[in-house]
Amino acid sequence: MRTQTATYAKTHFGKILETSLVEPVFIEKSGRNVAVLISFEEYQRMLTLEDKFWIAKAQAAEKEGFIGGKAAEKLLKDILDAED
């Protein structure tokens, strides 16, 4: 991973774009990282991984006894009605 200053990125944007096709490029401003430039393919890969993560979490919750939306609404309604 490369790190470049914001000033360098501004004046050499084409080069930064080319580099981002092979590896992420960190953009630094005032001594701290403020952005990361990645390729579109890497971005798509990350979205796919995130989707798979949330699918796995939902499946695990279902196996652990997640009751679902309608059942949860009924349970909450019953609890609220019992308090009246």
Instruction: Name the residue ranges covered by the structural domains of the chain.
Output: 2-38, 41-83
CATH class of 2-38: alpha beta
Output the pLDDT for position 51: 96
Output the pLDDT for position 84: 64
N-to-C CA span, the chain: 60
Output the pLDDT for position 65: 79
Output the pLDDT for position 22: 96
Q: Is 25 exposed, middle or buried (0-12, 13-18, 19+ CB in 10 A)?
A: buried
pTM of the model: 0.67
Low-confidence ranges of the chain (pLDDT < 50): none
